[in-house]
Chain A
Amino acid sequence: MSSQIEVKRRDFLKLVGTLPLLKLAGSTLMENVEQGSNAPNVLVLVFDALSARNVSLYGYPRVTTPNFERLAAISTIFHRHYAAGSFTSPGTASILTGTYPWSHRAFHLYGTAMEGFEERNIFHIFNGSPYTRMTFTHNDLASMLLYQFGQDVELHKKTKELCLFNEYLLSEGVFEKDHNAVFPGERTITRGQRGQDLQLPSSLFLSALHRIWRSKGKGDILAEYRDRFPRGLPSTNAGPFVYLLEDAIDWVQQAILTQEGPFFAYFHFLPPHEPYNTRREFINIFRDGWAPVQKPQHHFSEGHTDESLNVKRREYDEYVAYVDAEFGRLVDFMDAHGMLQNTYLILTSDHGEMFERGILEHITPTLYEPITRVPLLIHSPGQTTRREVQANTSCVDLLPTICYFIGKKAPEWSEGQVLPPFSESGIDPDRSVFTLDAKSNPKKAPLRKGTISMVKGNSKLIYYFGHDGYDNQFELYDLENDPEELENLYNTNGSLAKDLREELLSKLQEVNRPYLSN
């Protein structure tokens, strides 16, 4: 098996040459952090549902992300970076806790992490440092986690404050302290439980008035912005929030500019998550006739045709271009104010998006590359050259890496590693990175139904277990020679399949052990 680390030779030599300096810089960094002077800022920008497969920086034929590419010229680009979950709750919780979903257990819609993670998360590690911690999200699932970990955050910008329309009246208002109970409660009152075919609000009479109020309120705002957003405004999935990404970026600019000391900021923007309501100038920019590789329908196909998926893909790509433009605006602002000289700027996503095999978006038991592989760019303070990392990395690596940035030792409970090239020892070439879908399992019970993907070297094993009519199924792909995951090698590559299967099943057994009764 070939090594997973393919840092360019010239960069490697540069790195080796600067090791003693790095060590010196590390100790100086720690002193700076302790004193609060010149400590670098850390800015994490998460764009929801942004698949690396649709990002031109990673070779996508449509030029969706020219501004990412611009920043990439002075950043480290991770080519094989994986989300740990297939939707917001598990993916975000893994970023924030540096652990896989089988550890934090936030693998349900609106899920939160297990008790104890209030002190095991990315915000808590800044305790005792001079950093100001800031958060914001448009995403109501991510919001559950930010409220759970909010005790360590100095500035939590409420979602409703950056919305054009917000239909939630209680959860970010008088009952904010109990947000994670009042939020699903309020949703039950006004809309009914999400995910059901027929959502019945628990309020018999007033929910009707609420519905008319929100329909009218949103309708008026949509009419006001129709010229700029003919497809509709960016909104959350079922539409409780209507917002402009521009407003959030404007606020971020002011928030980071006005900080007097160093800051750690986690900003989680919903675009390019569905609905793909891009700005006018990006509509139809990808009517180019290009079509992706056709793939067979999967067992978990939702019945979408290739034609309809290609239309959705095009709209998504046009929405990604809008995200990229706003990101570029923020980078330009930071550059103009000299902030790229003292800020670690991290760009990533919580999970990807899928337009193939009859499946649309990301709420699916499948874990193909469009869903699991997400972008990761890290611009280090003052970095002026581009670095490439080909090793398999995971979103659980971000927390240890941020610890490194602020001169702290990575906590032992984190399942990640300091990312190359920041780690002096490099990354374990034999490591496996995982993505898990386990939303059908109870929070505190062994995982009996779900999907796990394990990437090791160039190989990717996907294991489906407990699904009706699709139990104990394996798929094995060679990502180097078959990046589209078309040829399942599980039955033809016996010894590799056996080794990977044993490792994956052993891991599953290990993570289930704490929940097995005697």
Chain B
Amino acid sequence: MVTYRPGFLPWRVVLRGLAICIVPVHVWAMIAVFRAIPSWILSMSLVEMIAVMAYPLDFALLESGIVLFCLIAIAAVLPASLYRNQFVSQTSLIVFIFTAWAVLMQFYGQVWDLWTPRRFLMGLVPVVLLIGVASAVNAGSKIVQKGLDALAERFLVLALVYIALDLFLLVFIISRNIL
């Protein structure tokens, strides 16, 4: 088991955590953007389409950063044995479960009438419970931890591609807003 000094997360661990956040957020953003492209093709030039696309994709990078920041904050608050000592695998579990929940919400949130603050919070209760159970399993199983660590390692490559794309689009956005 990989352990870390209290109050400190090595940058390699943070980077893997970021990769875990970046990949699902970007995959979803890509799906949404590609669903919109057929209607954009009719009315926009290639440059205009790239400009429009740049905002959701760069927002996905921001969103990934926010999610990671929240998770690091939680890790800083909780006892090291609960979260920080298995940061990558725990982060993976939390992000995957929340991703599944968020995807379900996008499809069925309206149907289940969950878009009010109270019902939304109530809907989060089973998700938090599930995370608790999954975390307990993760804490007691080196196989699960190793598997999730290995997955994060592979996500890192994909995440770097997304980051490169996002940075290119960020330059594009900045140039359009300055020039």
Contacts and interface: CB of A to CB of B under 8 A. Distances in A.
Interface of A: 108-112, 170, 174-175, 177-178, 180-182, 184-186, 188-189, 192-193, 195-196, 198, 200-208, 211-212, 215-216, 439-443
Nearest to B59: A189
Contacts of A189: 55-56, 59
Contacts of A182: 55
A443 B43 contact: yes
Contacts of A110: 43
Contacts, number: 119
B40 to A, nearest CB: 7
Contacts of A202: 28-29, 32-33, 56-57, 59-60
Nearest to A198: B107
Contacts of B24: 204
Among A175, A186, A201, A204, the most chain B Cβ lie within 10 Å of the Cβ of A204
B32 A196 contact: no
Contact of A170 (B43, B55, B109): B55
- Name the prevailing secondary structure of the B interface residues: helix
Contacts of A175: 55, 173, 177
Given A184-B52, A193-B32, 16 more contacts: A108-B43, A175-B173, A178-B176, A181-B51, A189-B56, A201-B106, A202-B28, A202-B59, A204-B28, A204-B102, A208-B102, A208-B106, A212-B116, A216-B117, A442-B41, A443-B43
B129 to A, nearest CB: 19
B105 interface: yes
A201 B110 CA distance: 13
25 contacts: A111-B43, A175-B55, A178-B177, A181-B48, A181-B55, A184-B40, A185-B59, A188-B32, A188-B33, A188-B36, A189-B59, A192-B32, A198-B107, A201-B106, A202-B57, A203-B59, A203-B63, A204-B60, A204-B99, A204-B102, A205-B25, A211-B115, A212-B120, A440-B42, A442-B42
A205 B44 CA distance: 28
Interface string B29-71: 1011101100111111000100111111101100100110000
Interface residues of B, number: 44
Contacts of A201: 32, 106
A501 B57 CA distance: 48
B55 A188 contact: yes
Main secondary structure of the interface of A (DSSP, over half): loop
Q: Which of A175, A196, A211 has the most CB of B within 10 A?
A: A211
B78 interface: no
B137 interface: no
A185 B53 contact: yes
A141 to B, nearest CB: 12
Contact of B177 (A112, A177, A440): A177
A443 B40 CA distance: 10
A180 B44 CA distance: 11
Interface string B66-105: 1100000000000000000000000000000011001101
Contact of A185 (B25, B39, B55, B103): B55
